[in-house]
């Protein structure tokens, strides 16, 4: 196979003893040198399927800072398949040089189609897809955020035998694909906790459709007001964590989850002696885009 992922390491976090829990971080952000984390897990079997079907082009959807867009662009370049990104918000037309994510994707050879926020909402409609096929020819379609059955199959490879040691598995949740894979490969005795990065109650239902076990729960108190919404408190937490333990988190997904896990540890949510595994799903490419936003607002930046 042309597409290979490295194994990730569980890094021990030396917390003050009185907190009473053992904390490890699975460095999925380091499984690939260009674009890291769960997006590659989600792409693996989709790419194999596209190759098997003889597709010359991948088409997918995302916002201007999307980790998924960056991952598809990079993966397509590596395996020699063309990529098209349908990007939400046509106000971005012509601005791509200012956005780190889109300029990275462009360098990887991705072509863009900008659509209005209104049109973007139709992205799963048959007619909308048919029009795209008329415009671009045949393509292998990957949904927004990359979540489908094959993506979940890829995420079922995140945990290994030794991870059976942990009592809790924690991860950030967007569309729910990653946590679904984690639940399916967890042991029934383990608890999988998901921290949604956005507001909304549709997730429980979406996840239920994909999973085979009831050992999971969403903790919805740490979305900071919604997708890509952040505050000074979160930025300061991310910077302190990096300074203390040397591990970077992104402000959209993993930073919010880690903030939540720390808050829960402080509130004694986890029984004494619990062994907790955090899944670092990557997303670090999004930091520079967020820093541009913070800078324009005159707020403090995330340390890189
Ligand atoms: C996309 C993403 C998620 C969310 O994954 P889902 O499978 O959509 O729930 C979490 N963390 C990072 C860094 C991501 O890029």
Separation between Cα atoms, residue 235 and residue 294, nearest integer Å = 10
Residue 174 tokens read as: 């967007």
Are 276 and 241 spatial neighbours (Cβ–Cβ below 8 Å)? Answer: no
Answer yes or no: same fold for 10-34+151-296 and 38-146: yes
Residues 6+ apart with CB under 8 A from 63: 69, 87, 88, 89
For ligand 1, atom 5, the nearest C-alpha belongs to 174
Angle of helix 286-296 relative to helix 100-107, nearest 10 degrees, comes to: 150
Classified by CATH at the fold level, domain 38-146 comes out as: Rossmann fold (3.40.50)
What residue ranges line ligand 1, CB within 6 angstroms? 37-39, 67, 145, 147, 172-179, 250, 253-254, 281-283
What pLDDT tens digit does each residue of the chain (304 aa) get?
Answer: 466 777 789 999 999 999 999 999 999 999 887 777 899 999 999 999 999 999 999 999 999 889 999 999 999 999 999 999 999 987 766 665 568 899 999 999 999 999 999 999 999 999 999 999 999 999 999 999 999 999 999 999 999 999 999 999 999 999 999 999 999 999 999 999 999 999 977 899 999 999 999 999 999 999 999 999 999 999 999 999 999 999 999 999 999 999 999 999 999 999 999 999 999 999 999 999 899 889 998 999 999 8
The helix (run of H) or strand (run of E) holding residue 254 is helix 254-266
Ligand 1 centroid distance, CA of 204 (Å): 15
| DSSP designation for 30 | G
By the 10 Å C-beta count (0-12 exposed, 13-18 middle, 19+ buried), 51 is classed as middle
Domain boundaries, the chain: 10-34+151-296, 38-146
CATH topology of domain 10-34+151-296: Rossmann fold (3.40.50)
- Characterize 95-118 residue by residue with b for buried, 16 or more Cβ atoms within 10 angstroms of its Cβ, and e for exposed: ebeebbbbebbbebebebebbeee
């Amino acid at each position: 196979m042309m597409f290979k992922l490295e194994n990730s390491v569980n890094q021990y976090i030396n917390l003050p003893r009185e907190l009473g829990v053992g904390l490890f971080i699975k460095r999925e952000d380091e499984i690939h040198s260009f674009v890291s984390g769960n997006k590659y897990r989600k792409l693996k079997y989709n790419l194999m399927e596209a190759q098997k079907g003889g597709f010359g082009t991948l088409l997918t959807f995302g916002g201007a800072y999307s980790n998924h867009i960056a991952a598809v662009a990079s993966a397509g370049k590596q395996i020699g398949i063309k990529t098209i990104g349908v990007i939400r918000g046509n106000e971005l037309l012509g601005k791509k040089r200012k956005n780190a994510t889109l300029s990275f994707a462009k360098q990887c050879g991705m072509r863009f189609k900008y659509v209005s926020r209104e049109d973007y909402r139709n992205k799963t409609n048959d007619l909308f897809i048919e029009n795209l096929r008329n415009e671009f020819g045949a393509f292998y379609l990957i949904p927004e955020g990359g979540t489908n059955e094959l993506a979940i199959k890829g995420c079922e490879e995140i945990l290994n035998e030794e991870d059976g040691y942990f009592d809790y598995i924690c991860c950030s949740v967007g569309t729910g694909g990653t946590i679904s894979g984690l639940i399916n490969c967890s042991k029934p005795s383990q608890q999988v906790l998901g921290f949604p990065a956005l507001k909304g109650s549709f997730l429980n239902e979406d996840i239920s459709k994909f999973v085979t076990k009831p050992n999971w729960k969403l903790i919805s108190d740490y979305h900071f007001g919604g997708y890509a919404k952040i505050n000074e408190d979160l930025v300061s937490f991310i910077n302190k964590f990096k300074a203390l333990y040397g591990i970077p988190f992104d402000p959209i997904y993993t930073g919010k989850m880690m903030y939540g896990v720390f808050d829960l540890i402080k509130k004694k949510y986890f029984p004494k002696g619990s062994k907790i595994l955090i899944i670092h799903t990557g997303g670090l490419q999004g930091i520079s885009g967020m820093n541009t936003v913070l800078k324009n607002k005159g707020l403090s930046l995330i340390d890189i």
